[in-house]
């Protein structure tokens, strides 16, 4: 291997069509994907039907099926965070279709991500709010996604977005305030 990180080298080899590189890569990244999945599921209700292992396997299938030219480890995990978000939202939508439940109570971002018996509704509310935020500021939306769904550090996010750590920190503060306002019960009545 070169002086580059082994994950980055394997990702590049895999992008170039080397299937053996994928076989060597997955055991290395599996633990981190499992950690991201567990973190993403942390706020779900205790009897949630999707488990971290299933989430990782679904993410794996989507990542392997992707035609993405991987740049490096951080890029891979950033894409994985987006994939995890989409899987959770798709699962929540499917659950909601089955239940045909009433109006979901909107709650602040930190609570939506961390706790709550109706976490599927909160994931959907958060996803919808992130889409609205992306219309006005795509970078802030992406920072929230990478933080809460990807479990990435400010430094890793800065590297992915090619901005400074301070910019990420500032944008995250502003985005959290915006999302708090969007997801607060007072806003739910006016939305």
What tens digit of pLDDT does each residue of 71-100 get? 888 888 888 888 888 888 888 777 766 554
Average pLDDT over residues 107-125: 53
In Å, what is the CA distance from 29 to each residue of 127, 156, 159? 26, 16, 19
Cβ pair 88, 123 in contact under 8 A: yes
Average pLDDT over residues 45-64: 79
The pLDDT of residue 40 = 74
The pLDDT of residue 172 = 93
Please tell me whether the overall predicted TM-score, pTM, comes out greater than 0.75 for this model: no
Higher pLDDT, 74 or 189: 74
> d(Cα 144, Cα 113) in Å, to the nearest integer?
11
The pLDDT of residue 104 = 46
152: left (phi over 0), alpha (psi -120 to 50) or beta: beta
> d(Cα 141, Cα 130) in Å, to the nearest integer?
5
> d(Cα 5, Cα 59) in Å, to the nearest integer?
22
Average pLDDT over residues 118-133: 77
> d(Cα 161, Cα 90) in Å, to the nearest integer?
26
């Amino acid at each position: 291997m070169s002086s580059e990180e082994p994950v980055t080298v394997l990702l590049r080899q895999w992008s170039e069509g080397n299937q053996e590189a994928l076989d060597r890569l997955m055991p290395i990244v599996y633990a981190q994907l499992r950690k991201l999945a567990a973190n993403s599921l942390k706020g779900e209700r205790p009897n949630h039907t999707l488990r971290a292992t299933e989430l990782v396997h679904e993410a794996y299938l989507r990542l392997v099926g992707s035609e993405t030219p991987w740049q490096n480890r951080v890029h891979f995990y950033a894409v994985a965070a987006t994939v995890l978000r989409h899987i959770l939202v798709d699962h929540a939508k499917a659950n909601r279709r089955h239940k045909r439940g009433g109006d979901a109570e909107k709650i602040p971002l930190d609570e939506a991500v961390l706790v709550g018996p109706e976490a599927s509704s909160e994931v959907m509310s958060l996803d919808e709010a992130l889409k609205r935020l992306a219309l006005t500021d795509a970078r802030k939306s992406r920072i929230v996604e990478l933080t809460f769904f990807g479990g990435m550090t400010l430094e890793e996010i800065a590297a992915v977005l090619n901005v400074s750590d301070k910019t990420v920190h500032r944008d995250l503060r502003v985005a959290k305030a915006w999302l708090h306002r969007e997801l607060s019960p007072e806003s739910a009545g006016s939305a």
